[in-house]
Amino acid sequence: MVAIYGAGEAGIATKRVLTEHSQQHVNIVCFIEDDAKKLNKKVDGVKIISPKQFKRFVAKHPINELIIAAFNLSTERKNAMVDYCLDQNIKVLNVPPLEQWVDGSFSAKQLKNIKIEQLLERDSISINNKIINEQIRHKRILVTGAAGSIGSEIVRQLAKFGPEMIILCDQAETPLHLLQLELAATKNGAICIPFLADITNEARMAYLFEAFEPQYVYHAAAYKHVPMMEMSAAEAMRNNVLGTRLLADLSVANQVQRFVMISTDKAVNPTNVMGASKRMAEIYVQARSTETFHQTKFITTRFGNVLGSNGSVINLFTEQIQKGGPVTVTHPNITRYFMTIPEACQLVLEAGSMGNGGEIFVFDMGKPVMIADLAKKMIRLYGLTPGIDINITYTGLRPGEKLYEELLNNAENTTHTYNEKIMIAKLGSVNLSRVKKSFEELESLVQNSQNELDLVAKMKELVPEFISNNSVFEDLDKAKVVSI
């Protein structure tokens, strides 16, 4: 017994695929529709009912599956229907997007279980493609961290706007090779040059700028795993802070027009080395934007977790569920903001195009998600019961981890832009000479000190709001309070 959500073209096609081409006997009992004009009519002999009528129908008739065949269904409506079906032990499947149909049709094999990413994604956003196109077309663009989950998507989206060249800079050889093969297969017309390099290698990066003369830089290269950076503070500083400084300085020296840095919500009131390192990178980029002798526009974009990125909790939970559990959550009350990779990258391009220099753009991340609820929902989407088929275990906060993330700190205000999804954070002024001097001291510590306590103490001096949590560096905060 199957119900289909959507009585439009996709819904009708789904009904015919299942009844005419499926090897199993499938009984389509109803279509579900939000359009009042279609209610109580019939399509191919099947009645169209509303979501409310569907719930009354389920109370009297056993339904095994619901197939969502409505491409414009809001995320809120989709979540409500999926939650109801999961409570009723009704399996939820999804019709593939239209671009995956062949000659206007699809096969029953293409019906897939609905994924958690589809329930967390939000209504589609609109960006000003005209402005982005005018800026990007025929430009030479450098993307650092190009083989990563964010960097590679930025590359894919940039390629659509007809740049003269995209330089794909990354230190990960195999992912960079795979991205090159993918881009070659798409034949989008853009010249994509793989450039294997560590962004902290001054000679190698100077050669890149001299050889390719990029006009735009999208800086997505960063170490991002919080617990690992807590154990590798010097490397976090070398890559995230000094690497950003080098790229920013080279951009000024080589007359780059725009420098767009990808930051993170963990830079706000940081509780870990990774977040503090990204805040320091923000500070340096802001400081360089105050100079009047160059034309480079420095722009920062800040957002939270992205669905399906490398190291994402979604990927971890999927792997754990497929292995039979347990699913590990650090704390019952931990929350995170989520955004899809394409949406985040669209907003990066939009913010990068509208920036005048010196801004930190903050994205509307929607509502924070309880990670424990996310785990339970993912288990249920696999047709399993949390606590019975798959256990959830709480492992405790990891070093440097927060219960919740912020996109602004208390000292910041925001102003709106023409895009409701993008705001500008108003921060205090930055003293450029003081920042440069502090970064020189920091570089000396990175190169010469074997004691990471000294290094992190310097970070806390530069970022006073950096208060460690669940970390060996908490003693530095106690010492600071005593000295005050």
Residues with catalytic roles? 266
Which H or E element spans position 388? Answer: none
C-beta separation of 68 from 78 below 8 A: yes
Report d(CA 172, CA 179) in Å as an integer: 11
Separation of CA 18 from chain center: 35
Query: Per this entry, what is the length of the chain?
Result: 484
**First-last CA distance in the chain:** 70
DSSP state of 340: E
C-beta separation of 214 from 140 below 8 A: yes
What residues have CB less than 8 Å from 323, skipping those under 6 apart?
A: none
What residues have CB less than 8 Å from 124, skipping those under 6 apart?
A: none
Report d(CA 275, CA 266) in Å as an integer: 5
Positive or negative CA dihedral for 382, 383, 389, 390?
A: positive
Report d(CA 61, CA 182) in Å as an integer: 48
User: 52 phi and psi, to 5 degrees?
Assistant: -65, -45
Tokens of residue 438, six digits: 């502090």
